[in-house]
Amino acid sequence: MARIAIIDREDMDAEQARVYDAAQKSGGPVGGPYWAYIRLPKLFEASHGLRNSLASGPLSRREQQIVNLTVARHWGARYPWFAQSRASLAAGIDQAVIDAINARSTPALADARERTCFVVARELLASTSLSDTTYKAAEQAMGLNDLVALIAAIGAFSITCMTTNSFGIEPPAANPTPLAD
């Protein structure tokens, strides 16, 4: 059960309603961590801005999904895992890759950049930094600007996971790929 009450649209103040309506109109998410962020409309709006900036950045949709799955698995974040599993399947990521990440195994990724996204996310989250070897390999595989985007994506999605975990935001009961214990 969520620790935080979900504010219905009709109970929002004017600023909350404005940012909520804008997000809904643009097709952006309004659930999950946004149930908490709506209490601070500037945070809600900034979070959408960061999300949109990363989505239009140099990482492919598949690369972003590999990052999001790896981050959600690291944090044990059930709602983000639910949402990102579905989004990953829609982006063409095989169920076997999702299952491997869920099992804390290394997924079979044929694409070098996708492998790099997984390795960098896993190492950064596990050790709070990157070894010189991983950094050099990542810069070689992705280029410096794309590596900056990768690190930012890992951090940004960590915020999402920490928010849902802290406020007990859970996925629906009908969850086809639940997060493993």
Do 66 and 151 belong to one domain? yes
- The predicted pLDDT at position 1 comes to 67
pLDDT digits (tens, 9 = 90+) for 81-110: 999 999 999 999 999 999 999 999 999 999
Q: Tell whether 68 and 16 lie within a shared domain.
A: no
Three-class SS of residue 118? Answer: helix
How many structural domains comprise the chain? 2
Residues 42 and 71 in one domain: no
Phi/psi zone of residue 128: left (φ > 0), alpha (ψ -120 to 50 degrees), beta?
Answer: left
Tell me: do 148 and 74 sit in the same domain.
yes
Q: What is the pLDDT of residues 116-153, one digit of tens each?
A: 999 999 999 999 999 999 999 999 999 999 999 999 99
Run of H or E including 57: none
Residues 81 and 134 in one domain: yes
Q: Do 93 and 143 sit in the same domain of this protein? A: yes
Within-domain flag for 3: no
> Does the pTM of the predicted model rise above 0.75?
yes
Return the pLDDT at 59: 98
Three-class secondary structure of residue 107 per DSSP: coil
Domain with 119 in it:
61-166
